[in-house]
Structure 1
Amino acid sequence: MPDHITLRQVELPPLSQLGPEPTLSPEVYAGRISRARVKMRELGLTHLIAYADREHPGNSLYLTGFDPRFEEALVVLDLDNAPFILAGNESAAMVPGLPVTATTVLCQSLSLPGQDRSVQQRVSTALRQAGVDADSRVGLVGWRPITADDSRLSQFAYAVPAFVVGEILDVTQHLTDATTVLMGIDGLRSRNEADQIALNEHRSTRAAGHAWRALEALTPGRSELGTAAHMGLNGLPLSAHVMLTTGSGKVVGLCSPSDRVIGHGDLLSTAVGLQGGLTSRAGYVLRADELDQRQLDFAAGYFAAIAVWYQGLTLGASTADIAEQTTKELAKSQIRPLLNPGHLQHIDEWLDSPFAAGSAGTVHSGMSLQADIIPVGATPDLAANCEDAVAIADADLRAELAERYPHMWQRVTARRTFMTEVLGLTLAEEVLPLSDRQAVLPPALLSLSAVLVATV
């Protein structure tokens, strides 16, 4: 167990009582479209086409607020006109209610199997209606980049259904992958406006409350589903399925709750993610006085790395260096990260990750990040996790948030005080914790106020 990490009984602050959540105004979307057009001109594009589906709505939501239900959809942006949205039979009805002016183009090939195709079926026909022609130079935004390491044919590969790519090529042969215009470590979506950060904070606060209420209801002998029922989910859109799983030797944290009865001494992992932020915790169904030394050492070594990660978040810092230092700290306790030590989040739970060896990324203002460091120990009977969302804001962005969102700013300020004065963490001014339980790690989940703290 690291000398500077100890288990301490603390008074946790109450979970926030939130008012109505912030909304993104038409002006926010107009700014996003304007910035996308700047990128289009730099790349010599006449059109940007963003793919979306129920699992991957982030790019469409970012540009227009359009969140397709059941179906696939395409957002078509040119250099002058309002966006065109190619939608199927069901989602087409959602376009008139968007916060931006957009033109609906019915494209029934995007509808579910067996539905009517008699009005306008082909994507190519709909694209021509949206102004795409043989001379158009199109940048296609898939739901993720496909790199040369992913495929030898990466220059011809798009994270978009093949039939959609084929239909675009039926209209124009001038097609390139423009996914990194919006996504990637330096894409437009890695730089959040004040409004998006305020919305992320609201959603992250709610996600933390949902997860924590399940933990407060944790009782051996109750089922996973019975415990998850205490989350009090309210219908806001999820960024990931609800997770709560237990086991007596190991757990797979991605699993949904079941009727399994939770046993005393089980491992437990749970997570709730809303569009804007996710909270996850893992530990043991034990009281603090029941932890053995191996369990405590594992959790303490993990928390020491969490402290290193938060301390590394300073404007201009190399994300590769933060990843290296965090991984080195984990290794001191024979722990490795299952995935990257942290990642970008947005509407999607995982947008991309600059926290990797060789990454050229730096910490910049407007980032919204997940402190998502999944520890893997020497044996599968060890568990810990402490994941929350955090934003990075320079002085100007902080001033704007404080002025326009004073209640949010009060919550952020109180969290920073708790993290530094109670948990002993070092935070730069630009680090804005978005969760009521930011970095609160109780290894024994029947003793939620017995948490790990840094003493030096």
Structure 2
Amino acid sequence: MTSVNYKQVGLPDFGTPTVCPELSGGIYRARFDRLLAAKKAAGLDTLVVYADREHCANLHYLTGFDPRFEEALMVVADRRVPLILTGPENLGRAAAAAIEVEARVYPPFGLLGQDRTRTPPLADLLADAGVAAGARVGLIGWKYFTGQESRTPELWSELPAYIVETIRAVAGDGGRVVNANTLMMANETGLRAINEIDQLAQFEFAASQASEAIKRMLFGIRPGMSEYEAVGLMQLVGIPLSCHVMLSTGARAVGLSSPSGKAIEIGDAFTSAVGLWGALTSRAGWFVAGEEQLPEAARDYLDRLAKPYFACAAEWYATIGIGVTGGEMDALARRHLGDPFFNLILNPGHLIHLDEWMNTPVYPGSGERFQSGQAVQCDIIPAVGDPYFTTNIEDGIILLDERGRAAFREAHPEAWGRIEARRAFMDDALGIKLKPEVLPLSNMPAYLPPFILAPERALTLR
């Protein structure tokens, strides 16, 4: 591709939405109907959906309810109102779910020390809700397994053992309890792989907020600030997080670390990320104003790491589209960054949803194709290590065919205006031409300032 340049770039104000689009009750009811159809097609009698604070995306997708502090379990059987079991603090929120449910307290799902003297047997609750002897029961949590891990991956479950053992005991020897997460999370056929227009608009809202938070921090940070003070610049507004807020510098600069009271000094390695439901923005580089402030051994950071990385990311954006296979995207990244020096540690791209990483069709030889309605994260991470540290330009896009784009434009014109402006910026300022179906969500679309103290200078193809 065209050689990469490092120069002054005017990052526009794309606007920040203040009202999050709502999902109607009809959307949730349609999702539940699709779940029932998927259950039937899989030959399952009953589904049991588990959630906790870290793993709530599947339950929230189906009901609009996510447990906080506690756990929850939803039992879905034919011709029955779904039962949600949760702890006492979440009972009211569960009862207010977006679909009709019966909500009941199961004290062991609550916090330690609360009264459990009236705890009904879990086996009785499950049986009353539709887990019958001899039933084929599908378990939905947050991951599924393959033949790479087990000869019988369908029998492996990530749910807590006491729940799985109780369900198996109720189903009995004539029943079968299997992992059913593919119904929700498979790349091409999972219910959460393809999103409604309003859900995608929610993701655009979250991405605008996450990227603006990182932008405020990048353009406001100064030497001597503590990591805590730098995160304070983000001005997060309270949208639920999909991961802990990350910021670490110097010897602490490890990708997933939370901020500390450490003072940020010129010459520090730097990494930060904000993940909200449906979006994540991350940037990494060096806390310097120019190459002369880099460690002596990394003075060729731009040519050795940052520019090849940006060339890869730019081609990633220009290549992805409806019908493109994950194998093509994987091969693209490895063509650019396959040298062991770059040490790619994750699949270069994945589906994003309420959870930061839902699944990924991007792996060597993958024939799985990207589809209209998917939300995709550009997530290419070179774990180079000393002395170069790393670089990162992580943001999300959505894919919509012509019909989907027309529907989005009509339903959410302000969000559509921001998307069009981002596309124009990537083309005009950065030299990245996107396919019509590729809609960037970040207010820092493909904007990579490798030196944090020069945030107005970025890498481009022009």
Please classify the TM superposition score into its range, dividing by the shorter chain length.
over 0.9
Structure 1 Cα separation of the partners of residues 158 and 427 of structure 2? 42
Alignment-derived partner of residue 459 in structure 2? 452
Q: What does 1:74-153 align with in structure 2 at a 5 Å threshold?
A: 74-152=73-151
How many Å apart are 1:121 and its aligned residue?
3.6
Structure 2 Cα separation of the partners of residues 339 and 121 of structure 1? 44
Alignment-derived partner of residue 357 in structure 1? 364
Alignment-derived partner of residue 214 in structure 1? 217
Structure 2 Cα separation of the partners of residues 202 and 448 of structure 1? 23
Structure 2 Cα separation of the partners of residues 71 and 378 of structure 1? 38
Structure 1 Cα separation of the partners of residues 340 and 117 of structure 2? 63
Structure 2 Cα separation of the partners of residues 63 and 36 of structure 1? 8
How many Å apart are 1:15 and its aligned residue?
5.1
- What 5-or-longer segments of structure 2 have no aligned partner? none
Alignment-derived partner of residue 184 in structure 1? 186
How many Å apart are 1:177 and its aligned residue?
1.3
Structure 2 Cα separation of the partners of residues 82 and 410 of structure 1? 42
For the Cα contact (< 8 Å) 1:194–1:397, is it kept in 2?
Answer: yes
Alignment-derived partner of residue 224 in structure 1? 227
Pair 150,333 (structure 1): closer, same or farther in 2 beyond 3 Å: closer
Q: Structure 1 residues 143-152 or 325-334, which shifts more?
A: 325-334
Structure 1 Cα separation of the partners of residues 45 and 455 of structure 2? 55
Find out whether 1:174 has 2:176 as its counterpart.
yes
Alignment-derived partner of residue 335 in structure 2? 328
How many Å apart are 1:199 and its aligned residue?
0.3
For the Cα contact (< 8 Å) 1:288–1:443, is it kept in 2?
Answer: no
How many Å apart are 1:378 and its aligned residue?
6.6
For the Cα contact (< 8 Å) 2:2–2:461, is it kept in 1?
Answer: no
**Counterpart AA for 1:330:** L
Q: Structure 1 residues 417-426 or 91-100, which shifts more?
A: 91-100
Structure 1 Cα separation of the partners of residues 108 and 176 of structure 2? 23
For the Cα contact (< 8 Å) 1:109–1:122, is it kept in 2?
Answer: no
For the Cα contact (< 8 Å) 1:291–1:444, is it kept in 2?
Answer: no
How many Å apart are 1:109 and its aligned residue?
2.4
Structure 1 Cα separation of the partners of residues 45 and 143 of structure 2? 21
Q: What does 1:17-416 align with in structure 2 at a 5 Å threshold?
A: 17-152=16-151, 154-172=153-171, 173-186=175-188, 187-247=190-250, 251-288=253-290, 290=292, 293-297=299-303, 298-331=305-338, 334-377=341-384, 379-416=386-423
Structure 1 Cα separation of the partners of residues 187 and 22 of structure 2? 25
- What 5-or-longer segments of structure 1 have no aligned partner? none
CA RMSD of aligned residues (A): 1.8
**Counterpart AA for 1:281:** R
For the Cα contact (< 8 Å) 2:373–2:400, is it kept in 1?
Answer: yes
TM-score, reference length from structure 1: 0.95
**1:62-88 CA-partner distances (Å, limit 9, x unpaired):** 110111011111122223344221112
For the Cα contact (< 8 Å) 1:301–1:333, is it kept in 2?
Answer: no
Structure 1 Cα separation of the partners of residues 192 and 292 of structure 2? 45
For the Cα contact (< 8 Å) 2:278–2:356, is it kept in 1?
Answer: yes
For the Cα contact (< 8 Å) 1:440–1:451, is it kept in 2?
Answer: yes
How many Å apart are 1:98 and its aligned residue?
2.2
**1:317-343 CA-partner distances (Å, limit 9, x unpaired):** 111111111121123694232211011
**Counterpart AA for 2:142:** W
**Counterpart AA for 1:80:** R
Pair 179,262 (structure 1): closer, same or farther in 2 beyond 3 Å: same
How many Å apart are 1:3 and its aligned residue?
5.9
**Counterpart AA for 1:230:** L
3-state DSSP class of the match of 2:55? coil
**Counterpart AA for 1:235:** G
**Counterpart AA for 1:238:** L
For the Cα contact (< 8 Å) 2:86–2:107, is it kept in 1?
Answer: yes
How many Å apart are 1:311 and its aligned residue?
1.7
Structure 2 Cα separation of the partners of residues 412 and 217 of structure 1? 25
For the Cα contact (< 8 Å) 1:108–1:122, is it kept in 2?
Answer: no
Pair 69,397 (structure 1): closer, same or farther in 2 beyond 3 Å: same
How many Å apart are 1:229 and its aligned residue?
1.0
**Counterpart AA for 1:243:** M
3-state DSSP class of the match of 1:375? coil
How many Å apart are 1:146 and its aligned residue?
2.3
How many Å apart are 1:377 and its aligned residue?
2.7
For the Cα contact (< 8 Å) 1:109–1:121, is it kept in 2?
Answer: no
How many Å apart are 1:264 and its aligned residue?
0.4
> Aligned pair count?
453
**1:286-315 CA-partner distances (Å, limit 9, x unpaired):** 114646651111111100110121122121
Structure 2 Cα separation of the partners of residues 377 and 415 of structure 1? 30
Q: Structure 1 residues 55-64 or 380-389, which shifts more?
A: 380-389
Structure 2 Cα separation of the partners of residues 83 and 288 of structure 1? 59
Pair 112,347 (structure 1): closer, same or farther in 2 beyond 3 Å: same
**Counterpart AA for 2:331:** E
**1:123-172 CA-partner distances (Å, limit 9, x unpaired):** 22221232222143211112111223234553321010010001111221
**Counterpart AA for 1:214:** M
